[in-house]
Chains A and B, each alone.
Chain A
Amino acid sequence: MGALALVLAAAPFAFTNNYHYEIAILVMLNAVTCVGLNLLIGYAGQISLGHAGFFGLGAYGSAILTARYGWPPLAALAAATAGTALVAYVVGRPILRLKGHYLAMATLGMGIIISIILVTEERFTGGPDGMSVPPFAVAGFALAGERAWYAVCAAMLVAAVWLALNLIDSPAGRALRALHGAEIGAQVSGVDAARAKLAVFVLSAVFASVAGSAAAHYAGFITPAKAGFFHSIELVTMVVFGGMASTFGAVAGAAALTLLPQLLTVFKEYEMVMMGAVMMGTMIFMPKGLVPTLAARFAGGGRR
């Protein structure tokens, strides 16, 4: 993790213009969401194809409270996060009773319902074209400019990774991993499966929500597409691409798949074809994901 902090601190020296900062910030926000999602998919073994819904709830919660009701951004952030956590709790209890593909479909459905509501209630949300979001300001001091946001997002990412790593190594985390391996076996050993799954679900929703709020304030604009199912699929792809059950894998996956479309622009009309080919090729030849495969390649020291 020290390496991560080092990379984040050193990277700006390689940036020559604001565009690089922008991409880096996008990567970091995606990474925060993916780290949370990875806890759910990689460690607890539950799949969620609707996580962009939580991202959207956080983003719109912050946006609506600050833009339409004039709340201070910090309070809006707190309220949006709490709201999303509540939704995740209420929705998670029945949904998490499902398994496998049924769970996948249910989360997909949940995500779609959220995005439909965001699109249709235009009086609050501005409809499909989205709405403007005021800048993030604390006590009169506004957070503006790429460098400031870069620092904030880097701090967020480090905090998220730290939180995730500590959770995984805690007794709660071990219970989680036991769940992934064999749910009934874990239950027999005294793990309260339902509560553990719900807790991770809510936690990963919180990660997504906070990232969403940050993204909304940073861009100054939010559209319902961010809560839509394409974005959900993108997030899951990032987690799997980078390597499930690997926090750094989640970060790597987010980086790879945020950068890839930018790099593939050289291919112009072949961009989609290349994107699909890269995704397929990587998963076929590195089925465990980027980080675990590379880690095993440079063998020895199996630290996660």
Chain B
Amino acid sequence: MSAEFLQFLLAGLTAGAIYALVALGFTIIYNASHVINFAQGEFVMIGGMTTVSLAAAGLPLPAAIAAAVLAAAAVGLALEKFAVEPARGASVVTLIIITIGASILLRGLATLVWDKKIHALKPFSGDAPIRIGGATLAPQSLWVLGVTLVIVLLLAWFFNRTLLGKALLATSHNRLAAQLVGINVRRVLLVSFGLSAALGAIAGILTAPITFTSWDVGIMLGLKGFAAAILGGLGSGPGAIVGGLALGIVEAMGAGYVSSAYKDAIAFVVLLAVLFFLPGGLLGRRGAERV
């Protein structure tokens, strides 16, 4: 029984780590601009697909990965410059529609640049399953969990110890005040998009050996990442991580113990229940609303 539980838990953590990375992407952009970037999932797709095609073209894997992350970041910057910035004064819903349009555009471009097939990456360190107390784990899962941890620590350092990071944080708390103290808000916006795109790309690359990648892999992951960000509390970095892991675990446990057909429904029911009792998400701000 407990070997089964451990198996479900490991599966949930692996999926959850990916959701957490995507959720972090949502959170960073949201904090800088109050925009929900529905194209976040496409960064995941770009990361995975670019790496696959570069690796197939002969580039050694680390170089392909670096290039893919840079490419995704570039797309993120372009998105901000050409789509979000011109529409800066518009309402939030309009901005959401713009990002939805962007995600459709990116998917369309993906089918032209690449193809409509599903692609796999070689696992970074082989396929031999690792046995842990009666359960098995794919080595790639360790990569996922490990790299996610490293990224979280790096981001914590970035936001708390570097000037740029602190500028991002300041903008998220109060944009006007940040401008007043001389922070270039426009640059902050650019950086957040670039950073979120890079995070999404890394998630896509980490998971491509396990879950494969294709031109439309971003849709579901984007949705789940958004759900995770909300679950943890929109705008909260730790919340994104907690939300991601929680979502992954709830899904796995739901599939394992309740019903695999309804597992997504179960996850959403849990999400709704959490929001019912904690309208700001698990770690969200629970302050008063300004009138």
Contact of A276 among B87, B105, B264, B281 (CB under 8 A): B105
Known contacts A99-B279, A287-B89: A279-B104 contact under CB 8 Å: yes
Minimum Cβ distance to chain A for residue B284 (Å): 8
Whether B275 and A102, one on each chain, are in contact in the complex, defined by CB atoms closer than 8 angstroms, is yes
Whether A283 and B97, one on each chain, are in contact in the complex, defined by CB atoms closer than 8 angstroms, is yes
Q: Is B101 an interface residue (CB 8 A)?
A: yes
Roughly how many angstroms separate A75 CA and B100 CA in the complex, as a whole number?
Answer: 39
Q: Is A6 an interface residue (CB 8 A)?
A: no
Binary interface profile of B, 102-144, with partner A (CB < 8 Å = 1, else 0)?
1111111101100000000000000000000000000000000
Residues of A within 8 A of B279 (CB): 97-99, 102
Q: Which of A267-304 contact B (CB under 8 A)?
A: 269-280, 283-284, 287-289
Roughly how many angstroms separate A278 CA and B101 CA in the complex, as a whole number?
Answer: 8
Q: Is A244 an interface residue (CB 8 A)?
A: yes
Residues of B within 8 A of A265 (CB): none
Whether A275 and B108, one on each chain, are in contact in the complex, defined by CB atoms closer than 8 angstroms, is yes
Residues of A within 8 A of B291 (CB): 182, 184-185
Q: Is A117 an interface residue (CB 8 A)?
A: yes
Minimum Cβ distance to chain B for residue A174 (Å): 20
Contact of A102 among B94, B101, B103, B230 (CB under 8 A): B230
- Would you call the interface of chain B mostly helix, strand, loop, or mixed? helix
Q: Is A41 an interface residue (CB 8 A)?
A: yes
Whether B98 and A284, one on each chain, are in contact in the complex, defined by CB atoms closer than 8 angstroms, is yes
Whether A280 and B98, one on each chain, are in contact in the complex, defined by CB atoms closer than 8 angstroms, is yes
Whether B93 and A240, one on each chain, are in contact in the complex, defined by CB atoms closer than 8 angstroms, is yes
Roughly how many angstroms separate A120 CA and B258 CA in the complex, as a whole number?
Answer: 14
Q: Is B212 an interface residue (CB 8 A)?
A: no
Residues of A within 8 A of B112 (CB): 269-270, 273
Roughly how many angstroms separate A273 CA and B234 CA in the complex, as a whole number?
Answer: 30
Q: Which of A216-246 contact B (CB under 8 A)?
A: 229, 233, 236-237, 240-241, 244
Binary interface profile of A, 67-102, with partner B (CB < 8 Å = 1, else 0)?
000000000000000000000000000110111011
Residues of B within 8 A of A112 (CB): 264-265, 268
Contact of A273 among B83, B105, B223, B265 (CB under 8 A): B105
Known contacts A101-B230, A276-B105, A277-B101: A283-B87 contact under CB 8 Å: yes
Candidate in B83, B89, B275 with the most chain A CB atoms within 10 angstroms: B275
- Would you call the interface of chain A mostly helix, strand, loop, or mixed? helix
Q: Is B262 an interface residue (CB 8 A)?
A: yes
Minimum Cβ distance to chain B for residue A103 (Å): 9
Roughly how many angstroms separate A47 CA and B111 CA in the complex, as a whole number?
Answer: 31
Q: Is A8 an interface residue (CB 8 A)?
A: no
Total interface residues in chain A, CB < 8 Å = 47
Contact of A233 among B89, B100, B102 (CB under 8 A): B100
Known contacts A41-B93, A102-B279: A280-B105 contact under CB 8 Å: yes
Roughly how many angstroms separate A104 CA and B107 CA in the complex, as a whole number?
Answer: 23
Q: Which residue of A lies closest to B277 (CB)?
A: A94
Whether B227 and A283, one on each chain, are in contact in the complex, defined by CB atoms closer than 8 angstroms, is no
Roughly how many angstroms separate A106 CA and B227 CA in the complex, as a whole number?
Answer: 9
Q: Which residue of A lies closest to B230 (CB)?
A: A105
Candidate in A109, A110, A289 with the most chain B CB atoms within 10 angstroms: A109
Minimum Cβ distance to chain A for residue B281 (Å): 7
Q: List 5 A-B contacts (CB under 8 A).
A: A95-B272, A108-B226, A113-B268, A236-B97, A276-B102
List residues of A whose CB falls within 8 A of some B CB: 41, 47, 94-95, 97-99, 101-102, 104-106, 108-110, 112-113, 116-117, 120, 182, 184-185, 229, 233, 236-237, 240-241, 244, 269-280, 283-284, 287-289
Q: Assuming A41-B93, A101-B234, A272-B105, what are 16 further A-B pairs, CB within 8 angstroms?
A: A94-B272, A95-B272, A98-B279, A102-B275, A109-B268, A109-B271, A116-B265, A184-B291, A244-B91, A276-B103, A277-B101, A279-B98, A280-B101, A283-B97, A283-B98, A283-B101
List residues of B whose CB falls within 8 A of some A CB: 30, 36, 83, 86-87, 89-91, 93-94, 96-98, 100-109, 111-112, 223, 226-227, 230, 234, 261-262, 264-265, 268-269, 271-272, 275-276, 279-281, 289, 291
**Which 3 A-B residue pairings sit nearest by Cβ, starting from the closest?**
A276-B105, A272-B108, A279-B101
